[in-house]
Amino acid sequence: MSRNPARPTPPATVTSLRQQVSDLHHELVRYELVVWTAGNVSARVPGQDLFVIKPSGVGYELLVPSSMIVCDLDGRVVEGDLSPSSDTAAHAYVYRHLPEVGGVVHTHSTYACAWAARGEPVPCVLTAMADEFGAEIPVGPFALIGDDSIGRGIVDTLKGHRSPAVLMQNHGVFTIGKDARAAVKAAVMCEDVARTVHISRQLGEPLPIERASIDRLYDRYQNVYGQSAATNDPGASR
């Protein structure tokens, strides 16, 4: 796979991404998607074969921009004094094989993990799911942490799939996005719909949405909903 020619990375770009990635980790806590030190956010450095990710085993309350780690697309540390996340190899694999992805998130959120423990996709039975995911939230294969097996499972499952989220069997949620913020949003939405569909199933079988309606909802939300690029508030979600 071809790589971008080596050239200096503007310090301001990495500094900005370190700040963004640090801030987004606190969003995982705010939305109750993680506990203790589990979970991670990463962001690709634009135009470079690099990404920024959290350090391994450091409490969220201690995370600051300077503690974020810069790695190359083989997962090797380029900048940073701490060891990178134990999921670094998975993030690196995604960036190597999905060049359109600018951000990756991993969470162990409760309801989504419950579906992952069953190895069961979350069916697309809500308009909010059709908007964000355009389909069911799929299940990826069981894989052990430590090499790029998880990354391979993520890529193999999401290639050609509309969903930016995958439930890795017996593990947890991985989401992708055009940038790290979009990947965090997908993780938030994944947990929200996993919870709602679970509650719905306690009342009976959820009603399906016709594929044609899912397609229309997805197209509207992805291409029409919200403000134009010139006026869009980067802090807005829905």
Residue found under tokens 């969003």: 27
Cα–Cα distance list, 95 to 15, 61, 200, 217, 224 (Å): 20, 27, 36, 28, 28
**Strand order from edge to edge, sheet including 172-177:** 77-79, 69-72, 50-53, 40-44, 103-107, 172-177, 165-168, 139-140
> What is the DSSP secondary-structure string of 96-149?
HH-TT--EEEEE--HHHHHHHHHT-PBP--SHHHHHHTSS-B-EEPP--BTBTH
Sign of the CA dihedral 126, 128, 131, 132? negative
Per the annotation, the verdict on 74 as an active-site residue is no
Point out the catalytic residue in the list 49, 131, 148, 179: 131
Per the annotation, the verdict on 131 as an active-site residue is yes
Instruction: Retrieve residue 160's tokens.
Output: 């050609």
Strand partners, 84: 55
H or E element at residue 158: helix 149-158
Strand-pair category, 77-79 with 103-107: unpaired
Residue positions annotated with a catalytic role: 131, 225
